[in-house]
Structure 1
Amino acid sequence: MDQIHISVIMTVKNGSKYLESSLLSVFSQTYPAKEVVVVNDGSDDDTWEVLKRLRHTAPIQVQLVNTQGVGRSQALNLAVSHARYPWLANIDADDKWLPEKLSQQVATVSLFPDVELVVTASQIVYGEGEGEGEPILRGGFSVTPMGCDSFYVHNPINHSSILFSRRFFDQVGGYDETLFRQVDIDLWVRALSQGFIFYRVDLPLTIKRLHDEQSFEVGNRLGYTYNSLKVSLRKLRQLKAPFYYFPIAFVKFFYNNIPRSIRRRLKRVGL
């Protein structure tokens, strides 16, 4: 198989706190990407200055795109439009990759010629924690196909873990610019509805960071979780899920409105 050339894309708004950690994890990959495209979506902190500083010392090319604030979906599509290579990997500005992340995904693409999107298992850290986190997906040294039934209860894909082909992106239609939240779930559902199968590397090679500065924590959490409920119900209808999955969406709605500190304690006891 020909060598796989990867563009990494990132969108950021007022994300300077964790931005350097995120980009350094991209620069440290054992299988290096060809470039990073960062869309600074109307930041009014020092994000732009951090980006310019990191660009000067980066081991790969870094494209910087500045906007006045176009929103998440449009910023993601803008990043893809500036990317020059046939494979793309997204990383959020507060997340991180372990060094083998891209190499394991490239190996998966080599093993499965029909693959268009590969994700990895993930772990969660809170705030500035850098150590072992809570696995989002557990698994051994294997690759697992993911069909519609993997998405009935929750969204099993960390957006920062994806590697996808430009062909996949163009066929599905990109990110829906009428949406402002949970734009990734919408993309997965449209892809699944078109018959795409995702592959997951069952190693926690992506780190998902949860912190108090995230929009769903500092803003109207009830509004965010209500929107999540609507997205979940629409997803279940589009994927033609069995009827008994619909009440689970309402249970999750109430659970997600519990304060994070209590949710973390519940997770520790297995709830």
Structure 2
Amino acid sequence: MQPTVSIVIPFYNCPYADQAIASALQQTYANLEVILLDDGSTRHRDKIEPFMDRIHYLGKQNGGTGSALNHGFRMASGEYIAWLSSDDCFFPRKIERQLNFMEKNGYRISHTDFHNIDASGAITATRAAAKFRTEREFIASFLTCCPVNGCTVMMRKDLFLELGGFDETLLFTHDYDFWIRAILAGEPFAFLDEPLTAYRWHDEMGTRKHWPRIAAEIALVQARHGARLRELLDRYLAMGRI
């Protein structure tokens, strides 16, 4: 039997939520669960009402994206879990292609390439993911930035639980912190070189509205994990893995 994949969509006052939900429901992969996690929204609920009979709706008090994802992933029934921001979209074969890649190679976590889109949904940049020649180069990039787009990630639920979920005290960089913890735990973080997600840039996105706070959290995550990342990179170098 094909494994169940749970897509969790955190929703907080987002006018694009209908497009995100529709893209999840239009996946070519059939054994799918779509969970909408309402993180205390007060606006744009009309965007989700038409889909209520086709999704699992969970509501909670506002606590941030990390809190919403933790709740949604823990409630998910799927062996695999994927995060879709309510302002982004999955391309139709996203789950099918990424699941096949992971099952074929035995990966427990992976990320993919993506396209950038604007507020209207027009593609503004193709294949926007950072590319790396080696695994060591990929790991080294975490010392200065988060090179992984969270909405391209799929992982096994058991890995998510083993690592303890997202740090809810990190309102903006919970994903950055989690990816580093996965790497430090020795988990291969595989890259599928196919654009399977549309990442939306718009004036109300958190990256633009909250950048000073995001920058402070980035520094916190780097201080938390920098020493262990450097130790890991030194081990790679000693083994000739450059």
Query: TM tier, shorter chain?
Result: 0.7 to 0.9
Q: How does 1:1-271 map to 2 (within 5 A)?
A: 2-15=1-14, 17-47=15-45, 49-56=46-53, 58=54, 62-113=55-106, 115-131=107-123, 133-137=125-129, 148-219=139-210, 221-240=211-230
Q: In 2, distance between residues paired with 1:217 and 1:132?
A: 17
Aligned 8 A contact 2:115 2:123 in 1: no
Q: In 2, distance between residues paired with 1:109 and 1:73?
A: 24
Q: CA deviation at 1:175?
A: 0.8
Normalised TM-score (structure 1): 0.77
Q: In 2, distance between residues paired with 1:90 and 1:138?
A: 19
Q: CA deviation at 1:138?
A: 6.5
SS in 1 for 2:16: helix
Q: CA deviation at 1:75?
A: 1.2
Aligned 8 A contact 1:9 1:36 in 2: yes
Name the amino acid aligned to 1:52: E
SS in 1 for 2:8: strand
Aligned 8 A contact 1:8 1:91 in 2: yes
Q: In 2, distance between residues paired with 1:161 and 1:36?
A: 16
Residue of structure 2 in register with 1:247 after alignment: none
Q: CA deviation at 1:72?
A: 2.0
Q: How far does the alpha carbon of each residue in 1:17-47 deviate from its partner, in whole angstroms, 9 at most, with x for none?
A: 1111111111111113421111111111023
Q: How far does the alpha carbon of each residue in 1:59-108 deviate from its partner, in whole angstroms, 9 at most, with x for none?
A: xxx11111221222221111012211211111110111111211111211
Q: In 1, distance between residues paired with 2:192 and 2:225?
A: 24
- C-alpha distance 151-216 of structure 1, shift in aligned 2 (>3 A): closer
Q: CA RMSD in A?
A: 2.3
Name the amino acid aligned to 2:208: E
Q: In 2, distance between residues paired with 1:99 and 1:9?
A: 16
- C-alpha distance 130-230 of structure 1, shift in aligned 2 (>3 A): same
Q: In 1, distance between residues paired with 2:135 and 2:25?
A: 28
Normalised TM-score (structure 2): 0.85
**Uncovered stretches (5+) of structure 2, i.e. residues with no partner:** 235-242
Mean alpha-carbon deviation: is it higher for 25-34 or for 88-97? 25-34
**Uncovered stretches (5+) of structure 1, i.e. residues with no partner:** 244-271
Name the amino acid aligned to 2:142: F
Q: In 1, distance between residues paired with 2:130 and 2:186?
A: 25
Q: In 2, distance between residues paired with 1:145 and 1:23?
A: 34
Q: How far does the alpha carbon of each residue in 1:193-229 deviate from its partner, in whole angstroms, 9 at most, with x for none?
A: 110011111011111111111234234x323323323
Q: In 1, distance between residues paired with 2:27 and 2:160?
A: 23
Aligned 8 A contact 1:120 1:204 in 2: yes
Aligned 8 A contact 1:189 1:238 in 2: no
Aligned 8 A contact 2:5 2:33 in 1: yes
Residue of structure 1 in register with 2:237 after alignment: none
Name the amino acid aligned to 2:117: V
Aligned 8 A contact 2:113 2:129 in 1: yes
Aligned 8 A contact 1:109 1:118 in 2: yes
Q: CA deviation at 1:150?
A: 4.9
Residue of structure 1 in register with 2:238 after alignment: none
Q: CA deviation at 1:137?
A: 2.2
SS in 2 for 1:135: coil
Give the aligned length: 230
